[in-house]
Amino acid sequence: MKLSKSEEELMSYLWHLGKAFMKDLLEAYPEPKPAATTVSTLLKRMQDKKYVAYKAVGNNRQYFPLVSKEIYFSRQLKGLIKNFFNDSPGQFASFFTQETDLSKKELQELKSLIEDQLNQKD
């Protein structure tokens, strides 16, 4: 299940903090900060989607991510490739390298990364 843009923003703060109380999350937002009730609603929705959980600490809740940033990003990227590039990583790579205006150095770095992965597959 995908997170909304607002949920992704909140999740990014939680990934950065690792564990956080409501006050920590509110402090992470730039001005104008959202209302505590808004953040609370987002956290509840994210709990329902199994992205966030909490531990009771006294009268407060300490929230923590159930899904790492890497796993979430990997799922989103796989969905993007499936939905927009006919489930073809090659089409995605072609689009990415042509449309992002990468420098020769950046393309060389990508080539090196791919070669490293190919060597690991041997």
| Predicted confidence (pLDDT) per residue in 91-111, tens digit | 998 888 888 888 999 999 988
Identify each DSSP E strand in 11-81 by its residue range. 52-57, 60-65
Q: 7 near 76, Cβ under 8 Å?
A: no
Q: Does the pLDDT at position 19 exceed 80?
A: yes
Total domains present in the chain: 2
Q: Does the pLDDT at position 1 exceed 80?
A: no
Please give the model's pTM, rounded to 2 decimal places.
Answer: 0.78
Considering the domain boundaries, does residue 55 fall inside one?
yes
pLDDT at 122: 76
Which of the pair, 62 or 92, is modelled with greater confidence?
Answer: 62
Shared-domain flag, residues 60 and 90: no
Shared-domain flag, residues 61 and 89: no
CATH number at residue 21: 1.10.10.10
Considering the domain boundaries, does residue 73 fall inside one?
no
Residue entry with tokens 């060389």: 108
Burial pattern 63-94, b for ≥16 Cβ within 10 A else e, equals bebebeeeebeeeeeeeebeeebeeeeeebee
Shared-domain flag, residues 46 and 93: no
Q: Does the pLDDT at position 61 exceed 90?
A: yes
3 state SS of 24: helix
Domain range for residue 108?
85-121
